[in-house]
Structure 1
């Protein structure tokens, strides 16, 4: 018996921003196994830009919800499309 009867409310696919094109395969396999409701891209605090998440979001019709820019919970930020795209060109 579930503690919260209507759970899960959100199924997040967390992708490592440094994996590049391998993230497509991860998304493909994960979406076969479960109904993913949103994406999270992590490790954007280094040289990784995580641009692959834009294509994954478009191809699988899954919105990006959060980005990770560090190792602490405080480093998990709500995804901002404009800021993300601008960061790809810096």
Structure 2
């Protein structure tokens, strides 16, 4: 996943792809890795039902703010989880 690579190499890969698409050359110097990164994904799935996607109200979604923490989500507490999209709630 690109957020993990971005965290370790300090590069915005999406912005880099857009610049390359506009004709800018890639920098020949490869950035050095620094540190480690882990990504966890939160899904609206029920383990008791063979991990089937679940619908309903997302009562709360609270992720503590911490240095180096990235949260990618389109949900907030009170949102409805529907059946017409991926059950992934967030990437942390």
**Shared fold (TM-score greater than 0.5)?**
no
Judging by fraction of residues, say which structure has more helix.
1
- TM category (shorter chain) comes to under 0.3
Larger radius of gyration: 2
TM-score by length of 1: 0.25
